[in-house]
């Protein structure tokens, strides 16, 4: 936590003491690193969806979607109206709708159910939680290795195809 708050406080000091070119370079570099970190998180979530046995329940999915939409609406619209009292550039209802709708881009709200002891998912597998996690890690490594090999191989698929193109 100390490193986080030191970084936040120092960013205000160091940013203004850099040359304009370095400021732009650092902003673009940090945005790129943030994008790569976010991509890694979503790639991990996307690959981990295949690592666990799933029991699909339509009512659970529908309730999750409804409650997420409701929770976002309860937060976005009142807070935006409250902010409009203190801003010169007001947030119009069209932008409030965009803010409300654009916040649902991940599967994070459905992932915690996998790790709660006593849920239907863990009980139905017949294994303990540590065995499930170990099995998931093995599958995750396997999927990641396969993906890495495909990326390293490139679009051509083999070295013979590359030699034909040259």
Q: Has residue 18 been placed in a domain?
A: no
pLDDT of residue 159: 53
Lowest mean pLDDT among 19-28, 44-53, 70-79: 44-53
In terms of pTM, does the model score above 0.95? Answer: no
Q: What is the average per-residue pLDDT within 126-152?
A: 72
Q: Which of 20, 110, 29 is nearest to 65 (CA)?
A: 110
Q: How far apart are CA 36 and CA 28, in angstroms?
A: 12
Q: Has residue 111 been placed in a domain?
A: no
Q: Has residue 62 been placed in a domain?
A: yes
pLDDT of residue 146: 77
Q: Tell me the residue range of the domain where 140 lies.
A: 116-151
DSSP for 22-42 reads HHHHHHHHHHHHHHHHHHHHH
Cβ atoms of residues 55 and 124 within 8 Å: yes
């Amino acid at each position: 936590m100390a490193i986080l708050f030191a970084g936040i406080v120092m960013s205000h000091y160091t940013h203004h003491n850099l040359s304009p070119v370095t400021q732009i370079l650092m902003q673009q570099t940090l945005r790129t690193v943030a994008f790569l970190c976010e991509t890694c998180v979503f790639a991990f979530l996307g690959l981990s969806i295949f690592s666990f046995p799933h029991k699909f329940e339509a009512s659970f999915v529908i309730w999750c979607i409804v409650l997420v939409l409701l929770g976002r609406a309860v937060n976005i619209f009142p807070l935006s109206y409250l902010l409009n009292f203190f801003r010169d550039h007001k947030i119009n209802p069209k932008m409030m709708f965009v803010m409300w709708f654009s916040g649902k881009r991940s599967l994070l709200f459905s992932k915690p159910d996998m790790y709660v002891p006593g849920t239907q998912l863990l009980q139905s597998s017949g294994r303990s939680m540590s065995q499930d996690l170990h099995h998931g890690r093995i599958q995750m490594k396997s999927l990641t290795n396969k993906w890495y090999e495909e990326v390293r191989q490139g679009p051509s698929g083999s070295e013979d195809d590359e030699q034909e193109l040259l």
